[in-house]
Amino acid sequence: MSYGGVYGVNAQGHKGWVTVRCAIHARYADVSKEPVYKCPKCTPKLNVYFCAEEYKELGGRCPYCRSQLVPVIKFSE
């Protein structure tokens, strides 16, 4: 069921709204279910995101500009 006559990829529950592709491992990461990180400098230009495994491998730094990676969504614990 769709709301407001919106169907397909434009529908509210479509996975394309919450998934991003990791820059190094090239796997799809769900932003709403797992921690995903971005570089504040490179993401607007290059559209790069990093999964939790990449964050650990890189030591929390962007491989392109060496700035600190920040989470896309902050999870409350």
CA distance 50 to 6: 31
Q: What is the pTM of this model?
A: 0.76
pLDDT value of residue 2 = 46
Residue 70 and residue 37 in contact, taking contact as beta carbons nearer than 8 Å: yes
Q: What is the mean pLDDT of the chain?
A: 84
Placement of tokens 């529908």 in the chain? 11
- State both tokens at 26: 């090239």
- Per DSSP, the three-state class of 70 is strand
Query: Taking 60 as the threshold, does the pLDDT of residue 42 lie above it?
Result: yes
Using one digit for the tens of pLDDT, what is the confidence trace for 58-75? Answer: 999 999 999 999 999 876
Of residues 31 and 14, more confidently modeled: 31
Burial-class residue 58 by CB neighbours within 10 Å (0-12, 13-18, 19+).
Answer: middle
Using one digit for the tens of pLDDT, what is the confidence trace for 22-33? Answer: 999 999 998 888
